[in-house]
Amino acid sequence: MSGGVDSSVSAILLKEQGYDVIGVTMKLFEGEVEGSCCNVSSTMDAKRVCDYLEIPHYTLNFKDDFKKYVIDDFINCYANCKTPNPCIECNKYLKFGSMYNKAQELECEYIATGHYAKIEYSEKYNQNVLKIANAIEKDQSYVLYNMPRELLNKIKLPLGMFNSKEEIRKIARDNNLPVASKPDSEDICFVPEGNYKTFLESNSNIKGIKGNIVNSEGKILGEHDGLYKYTIGQRKGLGISSTNPLYAVGFNKEKNELIVGEEKELYKKEFNVSEVNWLLFDKLEKELIVYVKTRYSSKAYKARIIPYENNVKVIYDEPQKSIAPGQSAVFYIDDIVVGGGKIIG
Protein backbone atom coordinates (compact mmCIF):
# COMPACT_ATOMS: atom_id res chain seq x y z
CA MET A 1 0.00 0.00 0.00
CA SER A 2 1.47 3.30 -1.15
CA GLY A 3 -0.88 5.54 0.81
CA GLY A 4 -2.65 6.51 -2.40
CA VAL A 5 -6.29 6.10 -3.33
CA ASP A 6 -5.81 3.10 -5.66
CA SER A 7 -4.15 0.73 -3.21
CA SER A 8 -6.41 1.96 -0.40
CA VAL A 9 -9.59 1.21 -2.37
CA SER A 10 -8.12 -2.15 -3.37
CA ALA A 11 -7.89 -3.00 0.33
CA ILE A 12 -11.53 -1.98 0.82
CA LEU A 13 -12.72 -4.10 -2.10
CA LEU A 14 -10.80 -7.18 -0.97
CA LYS A 15 -12.11 -6.83 2.56
CA GLU A 16 -15.67 -6.53 1.22
CA GLN A 17 -15.07 -9.72 -0.78
CA GLY A 18 -14.28 -11.57 2.41
CA TYR A 19 -10.50 -11.71 2.31
CA ASP A 20 -8.41 -11.39 5.47
CA VAL A 21 -6.40 -8.35 4.35
CA ILE A 22 -2.94 -7.22 5.46
CA GLY A 23 -1.52 -3.87 4.28
CA VAL A 24 2.16 -3.71 3.32
CA THR A 25 4.17 -0.60 2.47
CA MET A 26 7.60 -1.05 0.95
CA LYS A 27 10.46 1.18 2.12
CA LEU A 28 12.56 1.42 -1.02
CA PHE A 29 15.14 4.19 -0.70
CA GLU A 30 16.68 6.74 1.64
CA GLY A 31 15.57 10.34 1.54
CA GLU A 32 12.32 12.17 0.92
CA VAL A 33 10.93 12.87 -2.55
CA GLU A 34 7.88 15.11 -2.64
CA GLY A 35 4.86 13.25 -4.00
CA SER A 36 6.65 9.90 -3.93
CA CYS A 37 4.70 6.71 -3.32
CA CYS A 38 7.05 5.66 -0.52
CA ASN A 39 8.09 8.74 1.47
CA VAL A 40 7.26 9.13 5.17
CA SER A 41 3.96 10.94 4.59
CA SER A 42 2.78 8.27 2.15
CA THR A 43 3.72 5.54 4.61
CA MET A 44 1.75 7.35 7.32
CA ASP A 45 -1.22 7.69 4.95
CA ALA A 46 -1.12 3.94 4.35
CA LYS A 47 -1.01 3.29 8.08
CA ARG A 48 -3.95 5.65 8.67
CA VAL A 49 -6.02 3.86 6.03
CA CYS A 50 -5.18 0.47 7.53
CA ASP A 51 -6.10 1.70 11.00
CA TYR A 52 -9.39 3.02 9.63
CA LEU A 53 -10.11 -0.32 7.91
CA GLU A 54 -9.01 -2.22 11.01
CA ILE A 55 -6.42 -4.29 9.20
CA PRO A 56 -2.76 -4.89 10.14
CA HIS A 57 -0.12 -2.70 8.50
CA TYR A 58 3.55 -3.54 7.96
CA THR A 59 6.37 -1.39 6.60
CA LEU A 60 9.02 -3.63 5.06
CA ASN A 61 12.58 -2.60 4.24
CA PHE A 62 13.50 -3.51 0.65
CA LYS A 63 16.06 -0.74 0.13
CA ASP A 64 18.92 -3.06 -0.79
CA ASP A 65 16.87 -4.92 -3.40
CA PHE A 66 15.51 -1.66 -4.80
CA LYS A 67 18.99 -0.22 -5.23
CA LYS A 68 20.28 -3.41 -6.85
CA TYR A 69 17.41 -4.06 -9.25
CA VAL A 70 15.92 -0.62 -9.90
CA ILE A 71 18.28 2.27 -9.15
CA ASP A 72 21.43 0.56 -10.41
CA ASP A 73 19.59 -0.56 -13.55
CA PHE A 74 18.31 2.99 -14.05
CA ILE A 75 21.86 4.34 -13.87
CA ASN A 76 23.31 1.57 -16.04
CA CYS A 77 20.74 2.19 -18.77
CA TYR A 78 21.56 5.87 -19.07
CA ALA A 79 25.29 5.10 -18.93
CA ASN A 80 24.77 2.86 -21.96
CA CYS A 81 22.49 5.15 -24.01
CA LYS A 82 19.30 3.29 -23.13
CA THR A 83 15.97 4.60 -21.84
CA PRO A 84 14.94 2.72 -18.66
CA ASN A 85 11.52 2.03 -17.21
CA PRO A 86 12.06 1.68 -13.45
CA CYS A 87 8.40 0.84 -12.74
CA ILE A 88 8.72 -2.37 -14.76
CA GLU A 89 11.85 -3.39 -12.85
CA CYS A 90 10.18 -2.56 -9.53
CA ASN A 91 7.14 -4.67 -10.38
CA LYS A 92 9.29 -7.63 -11.42
CA TYR A 93 11.84 -7.67 -8.62
CA LEU A 94 10.10 -5.90 -5.73
CA LYS A 95 6.31 -6.25 -5.88
CA PHE A 96 6.25 -9.69 -7.49
CA GLY A 97 9.64 -10.75 -6.16
CA SER A 98 10.72 -9.59 -2.72
CA MET A 99 7.22 -8.66 -1.55
CA TYR A 100 5.70 -11.93 -2.78
CA ASN A 101 8.38 -13.87 -0.92
CA LYS A 102 7.61 -11.93 2.24
CA ALA A 103 3.88 -12.54 1.74
CA GLN A 104 4.58 -16.26 1.71
CA GLU A 105 6.47 -15.90 5.00
CA LEU A 106 3.37 -14.17 6.38
CA GLU A 107 1.30 -17.14 5.12
CA CYS A 108 -0.66 -15.02 2.67
CA GLU A 109 -2.36 -16.88 -0.16
CA TYR A 110 -2.40 -13.90 -2.56
CA ILE A 111 -0.81 -10.53 -3.08
CA ALA A 112 -2.80 -7.61 -4.45
CA THR A 113 -1.92 -4.20 -5.91
CA GLY A 114 -3.78 -1.10 -7.04
CA HIS A 115 -2.76 -1.49 -10.68
CA TYR A 116 -5.33 -0.99 -13.42
CA ALA A 117 -5.32 -4.36 -15.19
CA LYS A 118 -7.21 -7.66 -14.96
CA ILE A 119 -6.27 -11.26 -14.30
CA GLU A 120 -8.99 -13.61 -15.48
CA TYR A 121 -9.34 -17.25 -16.42
CA SER A 122 -9.33 -17.86 -20.19
CA GLU A 123 -11.13 -20.90 -21.59
CA LYS A 124 -9.19 -20.46 -24.84
CA TYR A 125 -5.78 -20.67 -23.16
CA ASN A 126 -6.90 -22.84 -20.23
CA GLN A 127 -5.15 -20.62 -17.70
CA ASN A 128 -5.30 -17.26 -15.96
CA VAL A 129 -4.26 -14.40 -18.23
CA LEU A 130 -3.26 -10.76 -17.78
CA LYS A 131 -5.67 -8.42 -19.58
CA ILE A 132 -6.15 -4.74 -20.31
CA ALA A 133 -8.21 -2.87 -17.69
CA ASN A 134 -11.76 -1.73 -18.39
CA ALA A 135 -10.52 1.84 -17.78
CA ILE A 136 -8.41 1.83 -20.92
CA GLU A 137 -7.01 5.32 -20.34
CA LYS A 138 -5.62 4.12 -16.98
CA ASP A 139 -4.52 0.66 -18.14
CA GLN A 140 -1.21 -0.50 -16.63
CA SER A 141 -0.92 -3.95 -18.20
CA TYR A 142 2.17 -2.67 -20.04
CA VAL A 143 4.18 -2.35 -16.82
CA LEU A 144 2.99 -5.72 -15.51
CA TYR A 145 4.11 -7.96 -18.39
CA ASN A 146 7.24 -9.01 -16.49
CA MET A 147 5.45 -10.72 -13.61
CA PRO A 148 6.30 -14.43 -13.29
CA ARG A 149 3.78 -16.53 -15.19
CA GLU A 150 3.29 -18.82 -12.19
CA LEU A 151 2.01 -15.85 -10.14
CA LEU A 152 -1.00 -15.31 -12.39
CA ASN A 153 -2.82 -17.58 -9.93
CA LYS A 154 -1.54 -15.67 -6.91
CA ILE A 155 -2.17 -12.00 -7.78
CA LYS A 156 -5.35 -9.98 -7.25
CA LEU A 157 -5.97 -6.75 -9.20
CA PRO A 158 -9.25 -5.43 -7.78
CA LEU A 159 -9.39 -2.23 -9.87
CA GLY A 160 -9.32 -3.85 -13.29
CA MET A 161 -13.09 -4.11 -13.64
CA PHE A 162 -13.82 -0.43 -13.04
CA ASN A 163 -14.35 1.97 -15.93
CA SER A 164 -12.70 5.12 -14.57
CA LYS A 165 -10.54 6.58 -11.82
CA GLU A 166 -13.52 8.64 -10.69
CA GLU A 167 -15.33 5.43 -9.72
CA ILE A 168 -12.37 4.57 -7.48
CA ARG A 169 -12.36 8.01 -5.88
CA LYS A 170 -16.11 7.73 -5.25
CA ILE A 171 -15.59 4.47 -3.36
CA ALA A 172 -12.90 6.21 -1.32
CA ARG A 173 -15.23 9.15 -0.57
CA ASP A 174 -18.16 6.87 0.25
CA ASN A 175 -15.93 5.07 2.75
CA ASN A 176 -14.62 8.35 4.19
CA LEU A 177 -11.02 7.46 3.39
CA PRO A 178 -8.58 10.23 4.34
CA VAL A 179 -6.77 9.84 0.98
CA ALA A 180 -9.88 10.08 -1.25
CA SER A 181 -8.71 13.31 -2.91
CA LYS A 182 -4.97 12.65 -2.83
CA PRO A 183 -3.31 13.45 -6.20
CA ASP A 184 -1.81 10.63 -8.26
CA SER A 185 1.95 10.09 -8.05
CA GLU A 186 3.32 10.41 -11.59
CA ASP A 187 7.06 11.10 -11.38
CA ILE A 188 9.76 8.48 -10.81
CA CYS A 189 9.47 7.79 -7.08
CA PHE A 190 13.19 8.13 -6.25
CA VAL A 191 14.01 11.12 -8.50
CA PRO A 192 13.46 14.52 -6.81
CA GLU A 193 11.24 16.86 -8.87
CA GLY A 194 11.46 14.46 -11.81
CA ASN A 195 14.96 15.73 -12.67
CA TYR A 196 16.68 12.50 -13.68
CA LYS A 197 19.78 14.32 -14.99
CA THR A 198 20.57 15.83 -11.60
CA PHE A 199 19.86 12.47 -9.96
CA LEU A 200 22.34 10.71 -12.25
CA GLU A 201 25.03 13.33 -11.68
CA SER A 202 24.58 13.10 -7.89
CA ASN A 203 24.32 9.31 -7.59
CA SER A 204 26.66 7.87 -10.21
CA ASN A 205 29.89 8.39 -12.10
CA ILE A 206 27.95 9.73 -15.11
CA LYS A 207 29.18 13.20 -15.97
CA GLY A 208 28.51 15.68 -18.74
CA ILE A 209 31.32 14.85 -21.18
CA LYS A 210 31.11 16.97 -24.30
CA GLY A 211 30.97 15.34 -27.71
CA ASN A 212 29.84 15.90 -31.26
CA ILE A 213 26.30 16.02 -32.59
CA VAL A 214 26.35 14.44 -36.04
CA ASN A 215 23.89 13.46 -38.74
CA SER A 216 23.56 9.92 -40.08
CA GLU A 217 26.35 10.61 -42.59
CA GLY A 218 28.70 11.64 -39.79
CA LYS A 219 28.69 15.36 -40.53
CA ILE A 220 29.31 17.40 -37.38
CA LEU A 221 26.39 19.76 -36.68
CA GLY A 222 27.10 20.85 -33.12
CA GLU A 223 28.14 19.77 -29.64
CA HIS A 224 26.34 18.01 -26.81
CA ASP A 225 27.29 18.01 -23.12
CA GLY A 226 26.46 14.41 -22.17
CA LEU A 227 24.67 11.59 -23.99
CA TYR A 228 22.57 10.74 -20.94
CA LYS A 229 20.72 14.04 -21.37
CA TYR A 230 19.04 12.85 -24.58
CA THR A 231 16.47 10.23 -25.53
CA ILE A 232 15.36 8.82 -28.87
CA GLY A 233 12.80 11.13 -30.46
CA GLN A 234 13.89 14.23 -28.51
CA ARG A 235 13.60 17.47 -30.45
CA LYS A 236 13.87 20.26 -27.89
CA GLY A 237 17.19 21.12 -26.29
CA LEU A 238 19.47 19.89 -29.06
CA GLY A 239 21.03 23.33 -29.39
CA ILE A 240 21.42 23.22 -33.16
CA SER A 241 19.57 24.97 -35.94
CA SER A 242 18.45 23.44 -39.22
CA THR A 243 16.15 24.15 -42.13
CA ASN A 244 14.08 21.10 -41.16
CA PRO A 245 13.38 20.02 -37.57
CA LEU A 246 15.95 17.59 -36.19
CA TYR A 247 15.50 14.84 -33.62
CA ALA A 248 17.75 12.55 -31.59
CA VAL A 249 17.72 9.31 -33.63
CA GLY A 250 20.65 7.37 -32.13
CA PHE A 251 23.93 7.26 -30.25
CA ASN A 252 27.50 6.23 -30.93
CA LYS A 253 28.73 5.56 -27.41
CA GLU A 254 32.28 4.65 -28.50
CA LYS A 255 32.73 8.02 -30.21
CA ASN A 256 30.56 9.87 -27.68
CA GLU A 257 28.36 11.10 -30.53
CA LEU A 258 24.71 12.05 -30.55
CA ILE A 259 23.15 11.21 -33.91
CA VAL A 260 20.34 13.44 -35.15
CA GLY A 261 18.11 13.31 -38.18
CA GLU A 262 14.80 14.36 -39.66
CA GLU A 263 11.53 12.91 -38.38
CA LYS A 264 11.44 10.21 -41.06
CA GLU A 265 14.65 8.74 -39.60
CA LEU A 266 12.84 7.98 -36.35
CA TYR A 267 10.69 5.31 -37.99
CA LYS A 268 11.59 1.62 -37.79
CA LYS A 269 9.81 -1.39 -39.18
CA GLU A 270 11.71 -4.02 -37.19
CA PHE A 271 13.79 -4.41 -34.05
CA ASN A 272 14.94 -7.12 -31.64
CA VAL A 273 13.78 -7.84 -28.11
CA SER A 274 15.72 -9.63 -25.36
CA GLU A 275 14.96 -10.86 -21.81
CA VAL A 276 11.52 -11.94 -22.97
CA ASN A 277 8.93 -12.97 -20.38
CA TRP A 278 6.01 -15.05 -21.68
CA LEU A 279 2.65 -15.11 -19.91
CA LEU A 280 0.70 -17.36 -22.33
CA PHE A 281 3.25 -20.08 -23.04
CA ASP A 282 6.77 -21.18 -22.17
CA LYS A 283 8.44 -20.31 -25.46
CA LEU A 284 7.66 -18.75 -28.83
CA GLU A 285 7.89 -21.66 -31.24
CA LYS A 286 6.87 -19.95 -34.47
CA GLU A 287 5.79 -16.64 -35.96
CA LEU A 288 2.84 -15.03 -34.19
CA ILE A 289 0.64 -12.06 -35.14
CA VAL A 290 0.25 -9.63 -32.23
CA TYR A 291 -0.10 -5.96 -31.39
CA VAL A 292 3.03 -4.38 -29.95
CA LYS A 293 3.28 -1.47 -27.53
CA THR A 294 6.72 0.11 -27.03
CA ARG A 295 5.95 2.80 -24.44
CA TYR A 296 3.46 3.02 -21.59
CA SER A 297 1.65 5.97 -23.18
CA SER A 298 1.79 4.76 -26.81
CA LYS A 299 -0.71 2.79 -28.87
CA ALA A 300 -0.19 -0.84 -29.81
CA TYR A 301 0.44 -1.56 -33.49
CA LYS A 302 0.09 -4.76 -35.49
CA ALA A 303 3.26 -6.78 -36.01
CA ARG A 304 4.75 -10.24 -36.39
CA ILE A 305 6.99 -11.63 -33.67
CA ILE A 306 9.47 -14.29 -34.71
CA PRO A 307 11.94 -16.42 -32.71
CA TYR A 308 15.42 -15.04 -33.44
CA GLU A 309 18.44 -16.74 -31.90
CA ASN A 310 17.79 -16.37 -28.16
CA ASN A 311 15.65 -13.29 -28.65
CA VAL A 312 12.54 -12.20 -30.55
CA LYS A 313 12.35 -10.14 -33.72
CA VAL A 314 9.45 -7.71 -34.09
CA ILE A 315 8.37 -6.77 -37.62
CA TYR A 316 5.65 -4.13 -37.84
CA ASP A 317 3.13 -4.00 -40.67
CA GLU A 318 3.95 -0.29 -40.89
CA PRO A 319 7.05 1.51 -39.57
CA GLN A 320 6.63 3.06 -36.11
CA LYS A 321 8.26 6.06 -34.48
CA SER A 322 10.86 6.46 -31.72
CA ILE A 323 11.69 2.85 -30.81
CA ALA A 324 14.05 3.35 -27.87
CA PRO A 325 16.52 0.67 -26.64
CA GLY A 326 15.96 -0.01 -22.95
CA GLN A 327 12.22 0.45 -23.14
CA SER A 328 9.95 -2.60 -23.19
CA ALA A 329 8.00 -4.02 -26.10
CA VAL A 330 4.81 -5.69 -24.85
CA PHE A 331 2.83 -8.09 -27.04
CA TYR A 332 -0.97 -8.32 -27.06
CA ILE A 333 -3.55 -10.59 -28.67
CA ASP A 334 -6.89 -8.77 -28.41
CA ASP A 335 -6.90 -7.54 -24.78
CA ILE A 336 -4.58 -10.26 -23.45
CA VAL A 337 -0.88 -9.77 -22.69
CA VAL A 338 1.16 -12.44 -24.46
CA GLY A 339 4.49 -11.32 -22.98
CA GLY A 340 7.20 -8.79 -23.63
CA GLY A 341 10.87 -7.92 -23.32
CA LYS A 342 13.57 -5.26 -23.58
CA ILE A 343 14.17 -3.45 -26.86
CA ILE A 344 17.79 -3.87 -27.96
CA GLY A 345 17.62 -2.25 -31.41
pLDDT, tens digit, 9 for 90 and up, residues 215-237: 999 999 999 999 999 999 999 98
Nearest Cα neighbor of 25 from 13, 37, 34 is 37
- φ/ψ (deg, to 5) at 194: 70, 10
Share of the chain above pLDDT 70, in %: 97
Cβ contact 325:82 at 8 Å = yes
State the average pLDDT over residues 120-141: 97
301-308 and 288-293: which strand pairing? antiparallel
pLDDT band at 314 (very low <50, low <70, confident <90, very high): very high
* pLDDT at res. 188: 83
pLDDT at site 34: 58
State the catalytic residue, choosing from 37, 38, 90, 108: 90
**Does 189 qualify as catalytic in the annotation?**
yes
- 276 pLDDT more than 60: yes
Cα 214 to Cα 250: distance, rounded to the nearest angstrom: 10
Torsion of CA 314, 85, 326, 320, to 10 degrees: 40
pLDDT level of residue 37 (50, 70, 90 thresholds): low
Among residues 213, 263, 218, which one has the least CA distance to residue 239? 213
DSSP E strands: which ranges in 111-192? Answer: 111-112, 117-122, 127-132, 155-156
Q: Identify the DSSP state of 214.
A: E
* Separation between Cα atoms, residue 200 and residue 252, nearest integer Å: 20
All structural domains of the chain, each given as residue ranges with its CATH number in brackets, are 5-194 (3.40.50.620), 208-261 (2.30.30.280), 267-343 (2.40.30.10)
Reply yes or no on whether the pLDDT at 309 is more than 90.
no
Q: Report how far residue 84's alpha carbon sits from residue 200's, in angstroms, rounded to the nearest whole number.
A: 13
Mean pLDDT of 252-259: 97
Give the per-residue pLDDT at 33. 60
The confidence band for 303, taking pLDDT boundaries of 50, 70 and 90, is very high
Query: Is the pLDDT reported for residue 32 higher than 80?
Result: no
Global pTM reads: 0.94
78-109 pLDDT per residue, tens: 999 999 999 999 999 999 999 999 999 999 99
